[in-house]
Amino acid sequence: MGVLNVTPDSFSGDGVGDDIEAALAQARRLASEGADIIDVGGESTRPGSAPVSADEEMRRVVPVIERLASEISVPISIDSYKSEVARRALEAGAKMINDQWGLKQDPRLAELAAERGVPLVLMSNQRDKGGYDAKLQRDSADYKDVMVEVTSSLKASIELATNLGVPRENIIIDPGIGFGKTWQQELEIIQRLGELRELGRPILVGPSRKSLIGKVLELPVGDRVEGTAAVVAIAIANGADMVRVHDVRQMAQVCRMSDAIIRREQGGN
């Protein structure tokens, strides 16, 4: 999954703002480099970012998705937790919903996914347990075992989605790297990722350029490609089925090599 941020304030520094031609060029590049899905987002999720209105988010993403849907063959995902944004995005040509709140903010996303028959990514987001900065270390101590918290959160999201009509086979789960955990907890999540297999759904992981890599390697965002590659490879070894990344060319090679080793007995290429 290649990341396309149509925002002016992406943490990774690759947001294209409202420049539709720049967005199209970036999407074409991601597709040519091996992206299987283009994930379009119109609201930054960086620490301390201000939320935007649904109208503003639609203004950013809908024109881009309309153009992409008519010009590239790679499926498009809408990265939004607002059902009205997701509905417009699907009408514009998106084929998937990526909900970073796991239906905690807007359960109507599940009804929309059921109605349209599209895949739905459900993320375990702990930002409501304290979020960022000084509060994060204190509030994250509320859950002694981060995998118990993440698994419980995802189970609840899956149950809500299925109760609202989403077929289980259309659900993908994401443990939420960078969303309300400490960097030490995020390392533990990657190490113990296989425990999420008990939920019986494909696992998506989004470690690309995240702060856990910066903390370990003491590197700025722009210098975290190799660190991202290490996390991606280990995540695949531990059960990840999809990875959401900015550096598609490099990570596509990491994925192919990891699959050749880890999944060769299951018919991987």
Q: How far apart (Å, rounded) are the C-alpha atoms in residues 124 and 102?
A: 6
Q: Is residue 87 among the annotated active site residues?
A: no
Query: Over the stretch 144-202, which tens digit does the pLDDT of each residue have?
Result: 799 999 999 999 999 999 999 999 999 999 999 989 899 999 999 999 999 999 999 99
At residue 9, the pLDDT reads: 52
Query: Over the stretch 54-112, which tens digit does the pLDDT of each residue have?
Result: 999 999 999 999 999 999 999 999 999 999 999 999 999 999 999 999 999 999 999 99
Q: What share of the chain is helix, strand, coil (3-state, %, to 5)?
A: 50, 10, 35
Under a CB-based contact definition with an 8 Å cutoff, are residues 212 and 219 in contact?
no
Q: How far apart (Å, rounded) are the C-alpha atoms in residues 195 and 145?
A: 12
Using CB atoms within 10 Å of the CB of residue 57, give its burial: 0 to 12 exposed, 13 to 18 middle, 19+ buried: buried
At residue 136, the pLDDT reads: 44
Under a CB-based contact definition with an 8 Å cutoff, are residues 68 and 87 in contact?
no
Active-site entry in 244, 249, 256, 263: 244
Q: How confident is the model at residue 245 (pLDDT cuts 50, 70, 90)?
A: very high
Q: Are strands 120-123 and 96-99 parallel, antiparallel or unpaired?
A: parallel
SS3 label, residue 181: coil
Q: Is residue 256 among the annotated active site residues?
A: no
Residue 16 has pLDDT above 80, yes or no: no
Q: Which domains does the chain have, with CATH numbers?
A: 2-263 (3.20.20.20)
Active-site entry in 104, 210, 215, 249: 210
Residue 130 has pLDDT above 60, yes or no: no
What is the maximum alpha-carbon separation in the chain?
48
